[in-house]
Amino acid sequence: MATAPQPEILTAFEAAKGFMPVDEGLALYAAAVEAGALGLPLLEVGTYCGRSTVLVADAARAAGVTALTVDHHRGSEEQQPGWDYHDPETVDPEVGLMDTLPTFRRTLFKAGLEEQVIALVGRSPQVAAVWGGPLGFVFIDGGHTDEHATADYEGWAPHIADGGLLAIHDVFPDPKDEFTGQAPYRIYLRALASGAFTETTATGSLRVLRRTGAGI
């Protein structure tokens, strides 16, 4: 059986605001634990309020590595006021824009995982451009436009070490199943077509691929 999180971690994950279903979260956790064995940092793109971060952070703790999570915390297109995935509680009333950073910090604090995580607050391509080191795990769950998903793939996938894992969320091969577009599906196809990645598991809309070749 795949490695499962302790009950208190699962409880913290389920209590957190966010978009990761439990079955996919368990698959994400198992992949992160496996990738942690490489002894390299685990990175997530798309922190939001920290729901999936709890799992990546606990896997990092188990492996004795650091988890990194990237987000500008201003929300994706579909999370803005007036759109389907908007949550009014995520708006900073003083600034009048979304700010999910405070909720994220509460989520991590409640899960007892603050020390495991480095939060990178900024635009994913900008952070990727200054990132130099190898990563054991990259989880792409950021913006769903082609521009954002492609930039996440091109920015972060090159850093995945040999044998490391690439997880992609919201992969919907059938257009009738998707709610926010098929850009994640397109980067998944691109990763497979590159010859650098081989699929290991598929759970709901989560795909996990292993680096088995060079390049992206």
User: Are the C-beta atoms of 10 and 191 separated by less than 8 Å?
Assistant: no
Partner whose binding site includes residue 170, from ligand SAH, Mg ion, none (CB under 5 to 8 Å by kind): Mg ion
* Interface with ligand SAH, residue 143, by CB under 6 A: yes
Give phi and psi for 80, each to the nearest 5. -75, 160
Which CB sits closer to ligand SAH, 61 or 123?
Answer: 123
Partner whose binding site includes residue 123, from ligand SAH, Mg ion, none (CB under 5 to 8 Å by kind): ligand SAH
Binding residue for Mg ion (CB under 5 A) from 73, 169, 207, 210?
169
Give which of 21, 26, 24, 20 is closest to 7, Cα–Cα.
Answer: 26
Binding residue for Mg ion (CB under 5 A) from 70, 108, 170, 216?
170
Residue 169 annotated as catalytic:
no
Shortest distance, position 127 Cβ to ligand SAH, whole Å:
8
**Range in contact with ligand SAH (rule: CB under 6 A) among 12-20, 30-38, 107-115, 183-191:** 12-20
* Interface with Mg ion, residue 34, by CB under 5 A: no
Q: Which residue is nearest to ligand SAH (CB)?
A: 18
Q: Where does the chain show beta strands of DSSP type E?
A: 42-45, 67-71, 91-92, 97-98, 117-121, 135-140, 160-168, 197-203, 206-211
* Interface with ligand SAH, residue 51, by CB under 6 A: yes
Q: Which residues of 126-136 are buried (b: 16+ CB within 10 A; e: fewer)?
A: ebbeebeeebb
Give which of 167, 212, 211 is closest to 31, Cα–Cα.
Answer: 167
Which are the catalytic amino acids?
144
Binding residues vs ligand SAH (CB under 6 A): 18-20, 46, 48, 51-52, 70-76, 100, 123-124, 141-143, 148
